[in-house]
Amino acid sequence: MSPKRIVLRFGTDSSVKPIVYRLVKDYDLVVNIVKADVNPQKEGTMVLEVSGERNEEGLNYLRSLGISVQDLNQGIVRNEEKCVMCGACTGICPTGALYMERPSMEVHFDGDQCIVCLLCTKVCPMRAMEVRL
């Protein structure tokens, strides 16, 4: 079974709970934390890859805690016609999905590494990085 990619959004009440531990122990799920971000107010987001026979039960557990669970079904694409290879996106990409190839100085995009954080869409001056739904 291939892993399901999900985005969790949680508040202060959920950030102190061992939610990943419970998914593994209680629901026998395999969990890979792709990205996690918790702000000083203890609110945050987490991108997970989850696989196992009891996926839906585990996700329902998270929802019962008030955690927003969304499928990561959107993606980022680079519009080749708009891109001017400035490289602004490469410095902000947390996973290295966007990188500058040397010596050609061409921007390359590895969609498999992308976690759809949307940072590239905000910094691209040409708006070449686009959200695909």
- Work out the average pLDDT over 6-24: 88
Q: What is the pLDDT of residues 97-115, one digit of tens each?
A: 999 999 999 999 988 788 7
Contact 28, 54 (CB under 8 A): yes
Q: Tell me the residue type at 123.
A: V
Q: Is the pLDDT of residue 130 over 70?
A: yes
CATH number for the domain spanning 100: value is: 3.30.70.20
* DSSP H stretches of helix in 43-117: 55-64, 88-92
Peptide bond into 18 cis (omega under 30): no
Helix axes 55-64, 19-27, angle to 10 degrees: 140
Are residue 51 and residue 100 in the same domain, yes or no?
A: no
Q: Is the pLDDT of residue 132 over 80?
A: no
How far are the Cα atoms of 51, 54, 114 from residue 77, in angstroms, in the given order?
26, 32, 10
Q: What is the pLDDT of residues 37-79, one digit of tens each?
A: 888 888 888 889 999 999 999 999 999 999 989 887 667 888 9
Amino acid 31: pLDDT = 95
Is pTM beyond 0.85 here?
A: no
State the residue range of the domain holding 65. Answer: 4-71
How far are the Cα atoms of 17, 24, 76, 102, 125 from residue 55, in angstroms, in the given order?
19, 10, 25, 42, 40
Q: Of the residues 71, 97, 114, which one is the last residue of a structural domain?
A: 71
Q: Higher confidence at residue 81 or residue 71? A: 81
Are residue 65 and residue 101 in the same domain, yes or no?
A: no
Are residue 89 and residue 46 in the same domain, yes or no?
A: no
Quick one: DSSP state of residue 2? P
Amino acid 1: pLDDT = 63
